[in-house]
């Protein structure tokens, strides 16, 4: 038996239509988009147009053209931060960030002398929005933060912080890596100026897809320059979106898959997906907390978290436990620091890290029973 519980890293399996869309594009269309006027090229254009439209619906974006495609959320965050922050700017973030945010800020600190305030979260990884507000200064240019921690699953109070950022005209960038596709996101009511997302996690699309929503009024410097199919006579990047940020041949095969994935999510309904995740999270906590020697980290209430759960068992090193789960039971989980050392410093696990279960829409209570039984056996050894 094989049980995949690493959906926080990348989701698997994907809806059947996602595989089919990637295959069909490569087999039957296969041409570049934005670069030809023959019928198959127009079909490639339509695929990309549609996926932007589905994502706009999912995130309540009024103008789909303001969604830029990238290779992943890491690239989106780099584009937003490096494109909008300049020398000496002050940036506020949290102590629960993934390296996609943290390393990006640190390089800007050494290169551009930006100043960073990382607001400390509680040892459970909860963020007090009041502390974020207190840390804002007249020269604060941006607040950048994760929507949900990839270590504890804790949801962050982005609605409250977004309202304050809008009131003070501070740019608000949200890393939605762990929430896009599994939690309702409305960029308008949440006052999100830039939403960075990745296609291969909760959005159920292929790896190598992702994007950035850029609200009107924001114009980051492009991260890359090159051909855009149109405006070829210009010696600089065109001003129009999305072309300004999408040089080079796009990943149409991946985007074809992402389009079907987002259509699947819209058809299932985000509320239903969220309910399934909350039920499974509640069940996982219930089953795991009874195991002797078990330590669970972070807030555990399903309505305050996404389907991510970190734990340690007795004296096991997380890597050893994950290895035994794989080799002896066929259970796939992640172990270590999960690219988020700041988060582990916050929750007190920097010395050894944690084992992380990442629940997905296709996981079942039966699989959690199997995990719990395996951990019970390993706890006794």
Ligand X SMILES: Cc1ncc(COP(=O)(O)O)c(C=O)c1O
Minimum gap (Å) between residue 209 Cβ and ligand X: 9
Please give the residues from 33 up to 72 whose contact with ligand X meets the rule CB under 6 A: 72
* Nearer CB in complex with ligand X: 68/372: 68
Q: Does the footprint of ligand X cover residue 93 (CB under 6 A)?
A: no
Minimum gap (Å) between residue 196 Cβ and ligand X: 8
Q: Which residue has the tokens 């089953």?
A: 287
Of 129, 176, 173, the residue nearest 150 (C-alpha): 176
Q: Which range, of 79-87, 113-121, 172-180, 246-254, touches ligand X by CB under 6 A?
A: 172-180
Q: How far is CA 191 from the centre of its chain?
A: 18
Proportion of the chain in helix, strand, coil states, percent, rounded to 5: 40, 15, 40
Among 7, 74, 93, 354, binds ligand X (CB under 6 A): 74
* Nearer CB in complex with ligand X: 34/202: 202
Q: Does the footprint of ligand X cover residue 6 (CB under 6 A)?
A: no
* Packing angle of the helix pair 252-268, 270-289 (nearest 10 deg): 80
CA distance 150 to 308: 7
How many other C-beta atoms can be found within 10 angstroms of the C-beta atom of residue 350? 13
CA distance 276 to 361: 7
Handedness of CA 13, 18, 24, 26 (dihedral sign): negative
Minimum gap (Å) between residue 380 Cβ and ligand X: 33
Distances (CA, A) of 90 to 109, 137, 145, 176: 10, 8, 14, 22
Q: Does the footprint of ligand X cover residue 175 (CB under 6 A)?
A: yes
Q: Does the footprint of ligand X cover residue 185 (CB under 6 A)?
A: no
Q: Does the footprint of ligand X cover residue 146 (CB under 6 A)?
A: yes
Half-sphere exposure of 194 (CA within 13 A, CB side): 27
CA distance 377 to 231: 64
Contact yes or no for 309/288 (Cβ under 8 A):
yes
Minimum gap (Å) between residue 254 Cβ and ligand X: 12
Q: Does the footprint of ligand X cover residue 180 (CB under 6 A)?
A: no
Among 95, 152, 178, 228, binds ligand X (CB under 6 A): 178
Q: Which range, of 84-92, 116-124, 174-182, 245-253, touches ligand X by CB under 6 A?
A: 174-182
Q: Does the footprint of ligand X cover residue 339 (CB under 6 A)?
A: yes
Among 68, 84, 100, 173, binds ligand X (CB under 6 A): 100
Among 14, 82, 98, 281, binds ligand X (CB under 6 A): 98
Q: Does the footprint of ligand X cover residue 349 (CB under 6 A)?
A: no
Q: Does the footprint of ligand X cover residue 150 (CB under 6 A)?
A: yes
Contact yes or no for 199/54 (Cβ under 8 A):
no
Given the rule CB under 6 A, which residues bind ligand X? 72-74, 98, 100, 146, 150, 175, 177-178, 198, 339
């Amino acid at each position: 038996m094989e049980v995949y519980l690493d959906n926080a890293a990348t989701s698997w399996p994907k809806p059947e239509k996602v595989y089919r869309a990637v295959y069909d594009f490569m087999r039957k269309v296969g041409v570049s988009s934005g670069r030809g006027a023959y019928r198959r090229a127009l079909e490639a254009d339509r695929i990309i147009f549609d996926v932007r439209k589905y994502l706009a619906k999912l995130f309540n974006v009024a103008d789909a053209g303001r969604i830029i495609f990238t290779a992943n959320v890491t690239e989106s965050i780099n584009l937003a931060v490096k494109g909008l922050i300049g020398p000496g700017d002050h940036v506020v973030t949290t102590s629960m960030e993934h390296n996609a945010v943290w390393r990006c800020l640190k390089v800007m600190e050494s290169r551009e002398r930006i100043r960073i305030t990382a607001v400390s979260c509680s040892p459970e990884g909860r963020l007090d929005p009041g502390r974020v507000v207190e840390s804002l200064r007249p020269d604060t240019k941006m607040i950048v933060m994760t929507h949900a921690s990839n270590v504890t699953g804790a949801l962050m109070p982005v609605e409250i912080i977004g309202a304050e950022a809008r009131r003070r005209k501070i740019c608000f960038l949200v890393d939605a890596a762990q929430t896009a596709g599994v939690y309702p996101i409305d960029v308008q009511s949440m006052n999100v100026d830039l939403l960075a997302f990745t296609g291969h996690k909760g959005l159920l699309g292929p790896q190598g897809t992702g994007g950035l929503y850029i609200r009107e009024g924001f114009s980051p410097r492009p991260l890359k320059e090159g051909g855009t199919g149109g405006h070829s006579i210009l010696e600089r990047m065109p001003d129009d979106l999305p072309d300004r940020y999408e040089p080079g041949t796009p990943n149409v095969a991946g985007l074809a898959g992402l389009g079907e994935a987002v259509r699947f999510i819209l058809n299932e309904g985000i509320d239903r997906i969220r309910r399934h995740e909350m039920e499974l999270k509640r069940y996982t906590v219930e089953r795991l907390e009874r195991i002797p020697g078990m330590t669970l980290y972070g807030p555990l209430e399903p309505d305050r978290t996404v389907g991510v759960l970190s734990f340690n068992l007795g004296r096991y090193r997380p890597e050893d436990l994950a290895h035994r789960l794989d080799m002896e039971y066929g259970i796939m989980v992640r172990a270590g620091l999960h690219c988020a050392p700041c988060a582990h410093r916050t929750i007190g696990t920097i010395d050894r890290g944690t084992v992380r279960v990442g629940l997905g829409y296709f996981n079942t209570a039966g699989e959690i029973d199997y995990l719990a039984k395996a951990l019970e056996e390993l706890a006794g050894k």
